[in-house]
Structure 1
């Protein structure tokens, strides 16, 4: 309600009757406070608008407290959208290209449409909780914030089952992906706290869904038969047996697959797709026994130097000669990228091309499906089956800790503990049931 008077009656207008009522800021409350001076000049930032005087007074008290704790004055003028766009520009040089693309996609397709209109200092934990609830479900009806967030995200949402491309998302997002979204938002807000725009980080108490780690399962014969009947994989992460791995490599050799060295290196040394596609010839030593250096894509432990093995040295040597022939005979301009694995023009192979080609080759070989990243798990399972120490496997894979390797691969090879099981029966001096002498007979019984 405003305090304007009717010029004819000289009386205040009734609520909503003022002709200026619909103008922005009219009939609303604003506040001013004395902020820390700069250069001896008095500063009185204006904050608002607010619907009631009580809201304005509470905001002024909160702002005085925030600035007294080191917060930056005039923060009410900065919206979430304005700050995150500035954050992207400032942090682009320090981020890897793929990481920046993911950050940009999360910010522009999720954070900005849902919460970008809010002033940064008014962003609270319950706003983020509402966002994560919407992302974790196809259709959520809960507190008053959730429908609003759902409506704002509608243009960026894709139908269930759609491919997760730039600008589109498959819903509901997994708990792991929501944790990634939260990590990006938390990084942005942490910097806002460091710069004095915020006193407390609202991402600290956002309430994230629990992530259930799915350990890999092996494609046993029973699981293959069940998959052929139902078409459903037993688990998201599946691993081939050593026999299935060998069958895949034989198929690559028989069909003269272009990237046979790449798939073999992934299966035997456990490189991530990003590590493979960014590998350079200057990082490889093909002198027996051969080694290569990974510059690292995730953690400091991912930067490592590991051995190739003689078979990989031979495969990479063949590939290098083939790549040079392509360069010399190419009718198109050749890109001198220095990368190990390139297309026919010397350009970097895209992850999408690599994964789609792998799916095609798996079907051709008549093997049960696994993801390209699961070749990394195959490398771990082959190493475990060979009796290699778990610490060495962890260092080869570049895991952040040895305990993660132990926890994740405890059941990846169901036959690893066969000797232990037989040793238990030997200790008990017990013959398996089904044999004639399965149980000791009472004395006198024939």
Structure 2
């Protein structure tokens, strides 16, 4: 076994300029014990010979105030050389010791070397968190484009900017906590910019969105999955992402658009229009003629009471009356009555429609990421389902097929794509177009704003109001768990009871002039033709 020794030395010199080193008389007291204030401790360690038997240069390191510190380094060298009995591995460890001392002025960590030997990794390479996350993402095969996009956003938008530079095996829980501290700071800045309307602040956060509790949980889940893979490859021993506590990321509750909520939203819309006008006036130097806000911008941009808002059945009926005659009416009818997702409705094919039996099979969906669309399977196994149609929906789909056949005849150049809902030339429908038309017609009908996905939630509300239980809602909407239905829709039940009371009272209190009209602007546009 190679031996190590410690000694004390200093920088004193003789009158002639020669270095005294270990011979300096000040290093010891008169009693012979070491001086506690003069000189520093060094160690020397004789490494085993090279494979060819030649002697290696000994290690000499110093500058330690205490002898115990120098002896601790000798102990670490003993531990490193005792990691393995394999001669080849031992020589690799010795080469690592000399190169690490030369480059970083320190010894390698025994536990790190032990792990690399155990897992067959190269001893002279390290990997950062950013490098590992990128490698992990590249190895994820067979995922949906939307899933890959989410992982990419989590990794490159939130994780790498904060912890990407840290060595994977040195990542700590406090480092992961810093990721969410940065997110909270950015959230505060975005909210402040929106509240104050400061143009400079708004420019800084342009394109940024507030990251909610549920998204934070997904970001942590992405990191946790990547670190679990690192544990399986024995690159690390502990998944520090599992140690982080986050506020519960509960699903947003669905809320009914009651008269009180509509009134609150209209007040917020008016304030939104005023604030936007002030900002534009400041940007344009007070030229008022350019300060008008498009009604659709105010309609979409005004915050709603909840991310998930639901029309009452009566409000849904108002929308369908407005949409009747639009070439995509059957699509909105299908979502409102049977609760398909937007992508599932756009991806529906005639081959999966049986109007005689009154059923459709949901087997495909079209998703839109930015300006591109992609066809694929529904988002979960439960999403692939058979949906029974009511007689009204059967009638509307039959009428839509007749309309489409007429469009095929007059188009001249028709693409026989096989989709139920297409553009005017037969190509698959862009989901964003269906959304734009939906929001425009909803505004023109004087209804409070809704996502087209919330029209699907309205189908669940109708089922609940008709007395069906959450299990029926789960199966009809293709939810993977009844828990999702419960978390989303239990808040709707009290509102349904109250709304029925309001509807009854409205019949008795309605004046001769009819119901109170909404203050939403009437901006009817002739967009019912063409896709």
How many Å apart are 1:103 and its aligned residue?
1.9
Q: Please give the alpha-carbon distance, in whole angstroms, between the structure 1 residues aligned to 2:180 and 2:404.
A: 47
Q: Please give the alpha-carbon distance, in whole angstroms, between the structure 2 residues aligned to 1:260 and 1:393.
A: 23
1:323-360 deviation line (CA, Å, top 9, x unaligned): 455456556684x6544333345444444333333221
Q: Please give the alpha-carbon distance, in whole angstroms, between the structure 1 residues aligned to 2:250 and 2:239.
A: 26
TM-score by length of 2: 0.60
How many Å apart are 1:204 and its aligned residue?
1.1
CA contact (8 A) 2:361 2:384 kept: no
After superposition, the CA RMSD in angstroms is 4.1
Match of 2:356 in 1: 287
How many Å apart are 1:250 and its aligned residue?
0.8
Question: Aligned in 2, Cα 1:121/1:288: closer, same or farther, shift over 3 Å?
Answer: same
How many Å apart are 1:113 and its aligned residue?
2.7
> Where do 1:244-263 residues align within 5 Å?
244-253=315-324, 256-263=325-332
Q: Please give the alpha-carbon distance, in whole angstroms, between the structure 2 residues aligned to 1:340 and 1:40.
A: 68
CA contact (8 A) 2:133 2:155 kept: yes
Question: Aligned in 2, Cα 1:319/1:222: closer, same or farther, shift over 3 Å?
Answer: same
Question: Aligned in 2, Cα 1:51/1:264: closer, same or farther, shift over 3 Å?
Answer: farther
> Where do 1:313-352 residues align within 5 Å?
313-326=394-407, 329-330=410-411, 334=415, 337-352=417-432
Q: Please give the alpha-carbon distance, in whole angstroms, between the structure 2 residues aligned to 1:120 and 1:279.
A: 45
Match of 1:353 in 2: 433
1:198-240 deviation line (CA, Å, top 9, x unaligned): 2222221123233244321211222222322333533232111
Q: Please give the alpha-carbon distance, in whole angstroms, between the structure 1 residues aligned to 2:403 and 2:420.
A: 11
Question: Aligned in 2, Cα 1:87/1:287: closer, same or farther, shift over 3 Å?
Answer: farther
Indicate yes or no: 2:449 matched with 1:369. yes
Q: Please give the alpha-carbon distance, in whole angstroms, between the structure 1 residues aligned to 2:169 and 2:259.
A: 58
Q: Please give the alpha-carbon distance, in whole angstroms, between the structure 2 residues aligned to 1:38 and 1:361.
A: 76
How many Å apart are 1:70 and its aligned residue?
5.2
Structure 2, unaligned runs of 5 or more: 1-10, 12-16, 20-61, 63-72, 190-200, 270-302, 365-376, 502-531
Question: Aligned in 2, Cα 1:136/1:63: closer, same or farther, shift over 3 Å?
Answer: same
Looking at secondary structure, tell me which structure has more helix per residue: 2
Question: Aligned in 2, Cα 1:127/1:383: closer, same or farther, shift over 3 Å?
Answer: same
1:61-80 deviation line (CA, Å, top 9, x unaligned): 33145357758554952223
Q: Please give the alpha-carbon distance, in whole angstroms, between the structure 2 residues aligned to 1:10 and 1:241.
A: 97
Question: Aligned in 2, Cα 1:319/1:36: closer, same or farther, shift over 3 Å?
Answer: farther
Aligned residues: 371
> Where do 1:201-216 residues align within 5 Å?
201-216=239-254
Correspondence for 1:390 among 455, 461, 470: 470
CA contact (8 A) 1:76 1:120 kept: no
Correspondence for 2:389 among 286, 302, 308: 308
Structure 1, unaligned runs of 5 or more: 12-26, 142-156, 164-168, 422-446
Q: Please give the alpha-carbon distance, in whole angstroms, between the structure 2 residues aligned to 1:65 and 1:41.
A: 11
Match of 1:271 in 2: 340
Q: Which moved more, 1:69-78 or 1:405-414?
A: 69-78
Correspondence for 2:215 among 177, 192, 203: 177
Question: Aligned in 2, Cα 1:39/1:387: closer, same or farther, shift over 3 Å?
Answer: farther
Q: Please give the alpha-carbon distance, in whole angstroms, between the structure 2 residues aligned to 1:385 and 1:273.
A: 23
1:410-436 deviation line (CA, Å, top 9, x unaligned): 231436557x99xxxxxxxxxxxxxxx
Q: Which moved more, 1:118-127 or 1:294-303?
A: 294-303
> Where do 1:177-196 residues align within 5 Å?
177-196=215-234
CA contact (8 A) 2:339 2:477 kept: yes
Match of 1:18 in 2: none
CA contact (8 A) 1:106 1:181 kept: yes
Match of 1:22 in 2: none
- Bigger radius of gyration among the two: 2
Correspondence for 1:129 among 177, 184, 187: 177
Correspondence for 1:226 among 233, 254, 264: 264
Q: Secondary structure at the match of 2:362?
A: strand
CA contact (8 A) 2:340 2:456 kept: yes
Question: Aligned in 2, Cα 1:77/1:64: closer, same or farther, shift over 3 Å?
Answer: closer
Q: Please give the alpha-carbon distance, in whole angstroms, between the structure 1 residues aligned to 2:212 and 2:486.
A: 24
Q: Secondary structure at the match of 1:118?
A: coil
CA contact (8 A) 1:219 1:240 kept: yes
